[in-house]
Amino acid sequence: MRIEELLQLPKLYRVIEVDLDVLRNGIGGGGGVIFDIDQLVKRKVRRVMHSGGWKWQIAREWPDQEMWDYCLEQDRECLEHLNYELGLIK
């Protein structure tokens, strides 16, 4: 990482909104289901500490978000893959 990139990172645990590239399911033109459509969604994330340093984590916006946000677990998985790709988790 360059020093300019380090200066632009938010402080640990500060929530920011980012465009996250995630996978979604949708309905095709003929009425069939299409799996794994790449989409950009806005999610609130934060930097958190873990045993190897820090990583990105989706921030909960309300207490029972898992009950109402059916894409939350998929988005967490996509963010974990991004953490691996960035080299934040080995």
Residue 20 sits in which domain range?
A: 3-85
- Measure the CA–CA gap between 89 and 54, rounded to whole angstroms: 8
For the entire predicted model, the pTM comes to: 0.77
**Which pLDDT belongs to residue 1?**
45
51 located within any domain = yes
Name the burial class of residue 37, with classes exposed (0-12), middle (13-18) and buried (19+) by CB atoms within 10 angstroms of its CB.
exposed
pLDDT digits (tens, 9 = 90+) for 16-48: 998 888 888 899 999 999 998 899 999 999 999
Q: Tell me what the pLDDT averaged over the chain comes to.
A: 87
Name the phi and psi angles at 34, rounded to 5. -110, 125
74 located within any domain = yes
Task: Enter the DSSP assignment of 86.
Answer: T
Q: How many domains does the chain have?
A: 1
